[in-house]
Amino acid sequence: MTNHIFIESVKNTPTFKKRFEVVERKGIGHPDTICDLVMNQISIDLSKIYLKETGAIQHHNMDKALLVAGQSESNFGGGKIIKPMKMILGDRATFEIGERKLPIRDIAIQTAKKWFEKNLRFVTEDNVEYQVEIGVTSKELQSIFKNPGTLAANDTSILVGYAPFTETESIVLNTEQYINSKQFKDKFPESGEDVKVMGFRDTNHVDLTIATAFVDRYISSENQYFQRKAEMLQDIDQFLKKTYSMKTTANMNCLDSKNKGISGLYMTVLGTSADSADSGQVGRGNMASRVISPSRPAGAEATAGKNPTSHIGKIYNVLSFKIANEIHAQVSGLDEVCVWMYNVIGRPINEPKAVIVQPFIERQLHDAEKNQINEIVENNLQNIHEFCNELISGKYTVA
């Protein structure tokens, strides 16, 4: 397998040393992230049912979904839902095992309902309608799963991971995670789960633009809204100063306008813009890194919802980051490393056609370091079955 591993040292400026960097993070209540996480959970649940019923994962891909925004009327002290959101669940699955038919439609809807109940405090069953457009998988793709041993890739693609995270990426990710933490929600229950953080770094200063959907039932007036917004920003500023050495500034809900009442405020009924303003779609949210970093290389595949045992769009998307992190941690002197993984439909997933490792280093790599990199890659490929099982268990967050 080593003859398919290519090591190409590069002398590019690593991301953290560049003057400018832009990073975005869409939180758990953002419509795009909702689509990613719901569909990924459906894939996990289907995988577990296939294992229970047949002893093996069957062909499915749950990476197509659209969350159509509903219609709501926000008001101080609490508004109302006029039209519920609609979630369209799509793509392909195996419906029959021998003569047994599996209730794929019911499984998908129940999983989605449980996800909303667990993750979005104010969304109830009445707030979401479901339209299931999951079709029967093709016999050609289904045949991949009838062969014993390592599964073949069911797509041709190239994916890429990198390491390490820059401080800007960490700031953006952890700011959103903090705003959506129980600690923050206990202090500011009016902060909805629909949070988006954009970070722009110029040298050693990160400017954060934060969008937070306020929940109208907790806000009685325009003055209270702006007071609580200022208190949130102060709390976030304290979190950033306590956690990071890099200078940061933050602004929130920049479209807000005083003296316009409800129309000048970012208010929602359910804590997500999907209740009225914004629709969502799989693949438009965070990358496998859990952020969106335009300064970094990126593959063309959405990770969420793809089959965890045969679709390299999921497997390599996550595995490339794992390999990159291990290489950066174990091989000294690397500013940054990128790992590209390429394979062709029909080839075993543990035998990619090419793994290209690009260490960012000023000098030439020693033979011992190249051997170390080869060993890390080989070890991950040899243990790809265990890695796929970890994907099925939900160990890796994909959005």
Residue range 177-192, pLDDT digits in tens:
999 999 999 999 999 9
Tokens of 22: 């832009």
Euclidean distance between CA atoms 300 and 309, whole angstroms:
19
Residue 2's pLDDT band (cuts 50, 70, 90): low
Q: What is the DSSP letter of 324?
A: H
pLDDT at 196 (0 to 100): 98
- Residue type for 53, please? E
pLDDT at 148 (0 to 100): 61
Asked whether residue 1 carries a pLDDT value surpassing 60, the answer given is: no
- Find where tokens 């953006």 sit: 172
- The answer to whether the CB of 294 falls within 8 A of the CB of 22 is yes
Tokens of 282: 């799989």
Closest C-alpha to 349, from 311, 318, 387: 311
Asked whether residue 64 carries a pLDDT value surpassing 90, the answer given is: yes
Residue range 70-93, pLDDT digits in tens:
999 999 999 999 999 999 999 999
Closest C-alpha to 34, from 275, 380, 261, 335: 275
Asked whether residue 127 carries a pLDDT value surpassing 60, the answer given is: yes
Whether a cis peptide bond, with omega within 30° of 0, leads into 164 is: yes
For residue 20, count other CB atoms closer than 10 A to its CB.
Answer: 10
Residue 379's pLDDT band (cuts 50, 70, 90): very high
Q: Of 1-5, 10-14, 245-249, which gets the smallest average pLDDT? A: 1-5
Element (H, E) at 358: strand 354-360
Alpha helices in the chain (DSSP H): 31-54, 104-119, 139-143, 167-179, 182-187, 222-243, 312-330, 367-382, 384-393
Residue 14: burial class (beta carbons within 10 Å; 0-12, 13-18, 19+): middle
For the segment 230-246, the average pLDDT, to the nearest whole number, is: 97
The residues with which 49 forms a beta bridge, in sequence order, are none
Closest C-alpha to 136, from 40, 49, 65, 59: 59
pLDDT at 115 (0 to 100): 98
- Residue type for 51, please? L
> How far, CA to CA in Å, does 133 sit from each of 63, 69, 88, 147, 359?
12, 18, 7, 28, 44
For the segment 326-334, the average pLDDT, to the nearest whole number, is: 96
- The answer to whether the CB of 30 falls within 8 A of the CB of 69 is no
pLDDT at 143 (0 to 100): 79
Residue 209: burial class (beta carbons within 10 Å; 0-12, 13-18, 19+): middle
pLDDT at 116 (0 to 100): 98
Instruction: Please give the CATH architecture assigned to the domain spanning 173-281.
Output: 2-Layer Sandwich (3.30)
Mean pLDDT of the residues in the chain: 95
Asked whether residue 38 carries a pLDDT value surpassing 90, the answer given is: yes
Euclidean distance between CA atoms 186 and 237, whole angstroms:
17
- The answer to whether the CB of 219 falls within 8 A of the CB of 267 is yes
pLDDT at 247 (0 to 100): 97
Three-state SS at 290:
coil
| Comparison of pLDDT for 113 and 363, the residue scoring more | 113
